[in-house]
A and B are shown apart, each in its own frame.
Chain A
Amino acid sequence: MFKALGRLLIKFFTQLGQASSMVSSCVFWLFKSPLEFSQTMQQTTKIGVESLVVATLTSLFTGMVLALQAGTTMRNILSEPLYIGTLVGFSLVRELGPVLTAFVVAGRAGAAVTAEIGTMQVTEQIDALHTLGTDPIRYLVIPRIIAFMIAIPVLTLCANFSGMFGGFLVSVNSLGVASNVYISDITTYIGVDDLMHGFIKSCFFAFMIGVVCCYKGLWTRGGAEGVGKSTTQAVVTSMVLILVMDYFLTAILNSIGL
């Protein structure tokens, strides 16, 4: 029992150490060599395009269900669907937009990144990068982390809009809220600080997903089976960390007044 726990802890800290040494190499190469600009752009569009539809659809329906739940609750308590726009908007911008988008991207683009880098590892393409004068950190990891950090906040923004639009549809069509009321509920109560709150979260999520997925890819061992294993691990780790980070980020951001 204690032995197993100890082994788990050792594994956790080894991986943490390896991942942080990867991040420090990233910083090193970021200053030592020009950015692989075309790679970065290519990855950004790939991640963005891959996840756009799923991310907007997910949050569209989330917005719709939020409006429906809030509407029926409000009607039961206050006998009128009040502040639906505010509720939907708040939940999306501060919480669900960043989290759901990060989930979607981790499952879609994150898995793809780990599988690609993992395959390159087991087929010696990573070694080939070394022998041809570049470095996987410089050529693969940095462009991908940056790509996640561009794509995820943008996708989050799209998701927020589509979620609020979903809430709008339900409020106006089935709850009988006037459309200008819904919109002014959003615009009067949701401010720049709420947007910042969500934006900062999604940047942190993006960085973490990039690090986790690249790290798992680079440390893939054991052929095609290994690639499958590390891909699953990358997605699961990312999702758990999103939720854990979300709590702590919320606590920190709230305490500094965002």
Chain B
Amino acid sequence: MIEIIDLKKHFGPKHILRGVNLKIEEGKTLAVIGGSGTGKSTLIKCIIRLLEPDGGKILFNNKDITHIKKQMELAKLRRSFGYLFQEGALFDSLSVGENVVFGLKYLTDTPKSEYARIAKEKLALVGLKGIEHLRPSELSGGMKKRVSLARVLATEPKVILYDEPTSGLDPIMSEIINELIIDLKNKLGVTSVVITHDMKSAFEISDNMAMLYEGKV
């Protein structure tokens, strides 16, 4: 479904990705592991084109998406993806509930009357209840992470890129999130790329594993 060929990315003189080759099959989960600062986040940002690669190719459903420039086409591409940010990246100016349903307005035709129900349902999935009216600044780091995951789930994307979904969570919560990822795969056929530091959960959830080291897999 996603094919990455000889992907290169550098920031100034720092060469982060030096020719990554990866294949992600439909309905499968790929775990990406690797030391801190090896470019894991950079890699999945290239996939969803938040960053433009400097070399190589990314194919999505056999279509070359490496250098799409048109804003409309990029927006369309991103419709298929969900991206869980490492730090959550919740919108400070909106409440938790508004954060969760934010994407619905732009990515789906869900009627507004459904929003409250969806927010509740998705927050329950990540083990949070009755916090819709709070502001992101009132949450703990782990709670932010889970709200952010709820926001990704709300739009029901076909491919989800998780940037360390379980870091900063207690073991029980991590287990719940891992099961959620497996559930999404089994029930909805979601394709996932999961960045993780936790080897145990990497083995648990993934069909394939890739280790990033010195800019290569």
- Could you tell me which residues of chain A, from 101 to 141, have a CB within 8 Å of some CB in chain B? 116, 119-120, 123-125, 127-128, 130-135
Q: Does A25 contact B (CB under 8 A)?
A: yes
Count contacts between A and B, CB distance < 8 Å.
56
Is residue B203 contacting chain A, with contact meaning CB distance below 8 A?
no
Among residues 48 to 104 in chain B, which have CB atoms less than 8 Å away from a CB atom of chain A? 48, 50, 71-72, 74-75, 78-79, 81-83, 85-87, 89-93, 102-103
Q: With A and B bound together, what is the CA distance between A125 and B83 in angstroms?
A: 12
> Does B166 have its Cβ within 8 Å of any Cβ on chain A?
no
Q: Is B151 an interface residue (CB 8 A)?
A: yes
Contact A132 B85, beta carbon cutoff 8 Å:
no
Instruction: Please determine whether B91 and A128 come into contact, CB atoms closer than 8 angstroms.
Output: yes
Residues of B within 8 A of A124 (CB): 85-87, 89
Interface size on B, residues (CB 8 A): 26
CB distance from B209 to the nearest CB of A (A): 24
Q: With A125-B89, A125-B91 as known contacts, state yes or no: A132 contacts B50, CB within 8 Å.
A: no
**B75/A128 in contact, CB under 8 A:** no
B151 closest partner in A (C-beta): A132
Most buried by A among B75, B89, B102: B89
CB neighbours of B83 from chain A (8 A): 127-128, 131
Q: Which residues of A contact B74 (CB under 8 A)?
A: 130
Which residues of A lie under 8 Å from residue B106 when comparing CB positions?
132-134
Closest chain A residue, CB of each to CB of B79: A133
B82, B87, B102 — most chain A CB neighbours (10 Å): B102
Residues of B within 8 A of A119 (CB): 92
Chain B nearest CB from A185 CB (Å) reads 47
Q: Is B169 an interface position by the 8 A CB rule?
A: no
A32 within 8 Å of B (CB atoms) = yes
The CB with the most chain B CB atoms within 10 A, among A116, A119, A127, is that of: A127
| Chain B residue contacts of A134, Cβ below 8 A | 75, 106
Bitwise, A9-21 to B at CB < 8 A (1) or not (0) is 0000000000000
Q: Give A135 Cβ to nearest chain B Cβ, in Å.
A: 7
Contact yes or no, B155 A132, CB < 8 A: yes
Contacts A/B (CB < 8 Å), 9 sampled: A25-B71, A32-B72, A125-B92, A127-B45, A131-B48, A131-B83, A132-B107, A133-B78, A133-B106
